[in-house]
Structure formats: C-alpha cells, structure tokens
Homo-oligomer: A and B are copies of this chain.
Amino acid sequence: MTLSLTEVNALKRPPAVEGVLPVIHERWSPRAFSDREVSSADLHRIFEAARWAPSSNNEQPWRFLVGLRNTQTHSSIAAALAGYNHDWAPKAPVLILGMTRSRTVRRDAPNAYALYDLGAAMAMLVLQAQALGLATHQMGGFAHAAIRQSLGIPELWVFGSVTALGYQAEPAALASEEMIAREVAPRTRKPLSELAFTAWEEPATLGG
C-alpha cells in the first residue's frame, strides 16, 4: 500500500508562499512515468520555452538531442544511464540529452558560462513541461564518453544532463520497493538562510 499519484503530488508540494509561481512550487522529479506519448505540439512548446532563455552575449550555446521511444537516439541515451537511473528512466517516452557549445561562436574562445546557460534553458523547459501537465526528471548520472561515441557528437559540445520527459504514473508502477520509497519521500531543501546573504556569511533577512 503506497501513496497515489494525487497523494504524492500533494506531499511533494512545499508549504505555500503567496505569490510564488505554482509551476515552480509544484514541479518535482518523479521516477514513475506512464507509456503515454508526448504530443509534437507539446514538444514544440517546451523547446520554444527553452529557446527564449537568456544567455551570455546571447550565444544560446544549448542544443538538445530528443530521443523518442523506439528510436536509436532513445536507446543510445538510455544505454548510457548510470545504474540506478537505468532502472526507471528508459520507460519515459522522451529522453533529452542537453549539451552546450564549449567555445563561443563570436570569438571561438572558451565559454565559461556554457553550462550555466544550458542549466537556465533546461529550467525554462522543465517549467513549461510542468505547465502542460508533463513531468520531467533531470539526471547527471550518465556515461559521457559512451553517449558521445554512440551518438557521434563532436568534442566541442559538452553534456549537462539527460532529462526524462513524459506523463507521471502512479508510484506503485515502479519496479521495486526501494524506488517506491524514494518516490514518496518528502522533498528537502536548505532554508533560505543558507541561500541568500547580504555579505559573506551574513544571511539576509527576507520578509515573509
């Protein structure tokens, strides 16, 4: 007996703070994905959202490899996932490899902000997905060299994440008790006093 999808989403939601965007508070990273496909209209919307992210000098260094189920790209991405991720993520109908150009186009110089900008674009993407009723789960645990080789990606591009995208399923659909336990565990975050400071090691006092 575990929590239902509705119950787990209620559990994962942080205490309400008036005025905070619902997509931000409601987003979390489930592991239980259903078979249901993502429409191409919704894929268009989520990449449109990523497209308008800001970037250093407007380089827009990000690039996304979109693996749809039953394609070589999906299976190559899935094959590169590290142990635990490999147990649940291949079931997601879409696996997105997020990469970023390590050198600027403008000056062909190292882009120190390439990964920062990719992280920002992916954040836009996951919030847009949330707004469409889709779930996302970004992963850092995958074999970079293996994925580079199997997909033929030049060294110029560095990897930032693999993201599972699809519709959330009931926690009970997961394959093991351990995964179910993780799925229904409360979310944790540091308090604001460990995030925002007015000077080095002086926490900011933020009104409620």
Contact = CB atoms under 8 A, between A and B. Distances in A.
Interface stretch (A1-9, A170-178, A192-200): A192-200
Nearest to A159: B112
Interface of A: 14, 17, 19-21, 23-25, 27, 29, 39-45, 47-54, 56-58, 60, 62-68, 71-73, 112-113, 115-124, 126-128, 131-132, 138, 140, 151-153, 160-161, 187-190, 192, 194-200, 204-208
9 contacts: A19-B41, A47-B195, A51-B195, A60-B195, A62-B195, A65-B199, A113-B115, A113-B119, A119-B119
B113 A200 contact: no
Contacts of A195: 47, 50-51, 60, 62-64
A40 B205 contact: yes
Contacts of A198: 65-68, 71, 73
A21 B128 contact: yes
Given A120-B120, A198-B66, A206-B43, A52 B72 contact: no
A52 B24 contact: yes
Nearest to A192: B47
A204 B120 CA distance: 21
A206 to B, nearest CB: 4
A152 B195 CA distance: 17
A58 to B, nearest CB: 7
Given A66-B198, A151-B200, A200-B153, A44 B140 contact: no
Nearest to A148: B200
Name the residue in A54, A197, A208 with the highest tally of chain B Cβ atoms < 10 Å from its Cβ. A54
A196 B64 contact: yes
Contacts of A51: 189-190, 192, 195
Nearest to A21: B131
Contacts of A42: 19
